[in-house]
Amino acid sequence: MTETPQRVLVVVPTYDERENLPGALDRLRTHVPDADVLVVDDGSPDGTGELAEKIAEAETAQEGTERIHVLHRAGKLGLGTAYVAGFRWALDRGYDVVVEMDADGSHRAEDLPRLLGAIDHADLVLGSRWVPGGSVQNWPMNRLLLSRGANTYTRLALGIPLYDATGGFRAYRASLLSELTLQDVASQGYCFQVDMAWRAVRSGARVVEVPITFVERELGRSKMSRAIVVEALVNVTRWGIAERSRRVAGAFRRSRG
């Protein structure tokens, strides 16, 4: 029987998630009570960062141990840089596993133990909507088609054996994050998730997918935008062309040798 990693940090980026954050933190405390949480707030105008501080202080006073932490940033700097800041915070403090998770309730805390169980035999575990057992609730058809299409295109363009490379519910071994060049990761949204998964695959990391149920948010507005979708399409296409060029050049050199 394998041991559960000793120190797990769940990184939760926020921007105007005051309505959703308390419920998300409550569910995390229920389903993964031994995990620590880092809320990375991008100066939310609605006071999400201040609310996170109050929740953290109240829990510390009640439990006698600090499990919820808050990292304040100056403004809306983007999802990718929020996660990178969270990764660095975790690595500096010696966590074993770092989890990405949304604050809006779309990532269910009850699925997290499944990801943490799989990390015993992997370097990166993706919570997948598109493997057997995975599902999506309350999405309109256009969102379903967009996600399915984006993941199919990513798999074919980059040649990676992943069915949900765009998903944002995942667990990394800290040892993998320490090997990746985080300062070079500047992409956002879908593109950030694809970028990190592709880097992991190229590094030779063990990447596995486990099924999750993705639930569309009930409160607040989605941060998805046309610009994020366009960024992902342009970058994945560019990366795919570069990867194929690299493979062709490698094959040509081997044939000449």
Residues of the domain holding 85? 8-256
- In this prediction, residue 2 carries a pLDDT of 46
Q: Identify the three-state secondary structure at position 51.
A: helix
Give me the residue label for tokens 């607040």: 220
- Give me the residues paired with residue 69 across strands: 38
Query: How confident is the model over 187-231, as pLDDT tens digits?
Result: 766 789 999 999 999 999 999 999 999 998 766 566 556 776 777
Residue 134 lies in a domain: yes
Q: Are strands 207-211 and 124-128 parallel, antiparallel or unpaired?
A: parallel
- In this prediction, residue 247 carries a pLDDT of 63
Residue 229 lies in a domain: yes
Number of domains, the chain: 1
pTM: 0.89
Residue 185 lies in a domain: yes
- In this prediction, residue 240 carries a pLDDT of 82
- In this prediction, residue 139 carries a pLDDT of 87
Residue 166 lies in a domain: yes
- In this prediction, residue 4 carries a pLDDT of 47
> For position 236, which CATH number holds?
3.90.550.10
Residue 3 lies in a domain: no
pLDDT mean values, one per 10 residues, the chain (257 residues): 71 96 96 97 96 96 92 91 95 97 95 96 97 93 89 92 95 96 74 92 96 83 66 80 68 58
- Give me the residues paired with residue 8 across strands: 97
Residue 183 lies in a domain: yes
Torsion-angle region of 83 (φ positive above 0: left; ψ -120 to 50: alpha; else: beta):
alpha
Residue 43 lies in a domain: yes
Alpha-carbon dihedral 49, 52, 58, 64, rounded to 10 degrees? -110
Residue 152 lies in a domain: yes
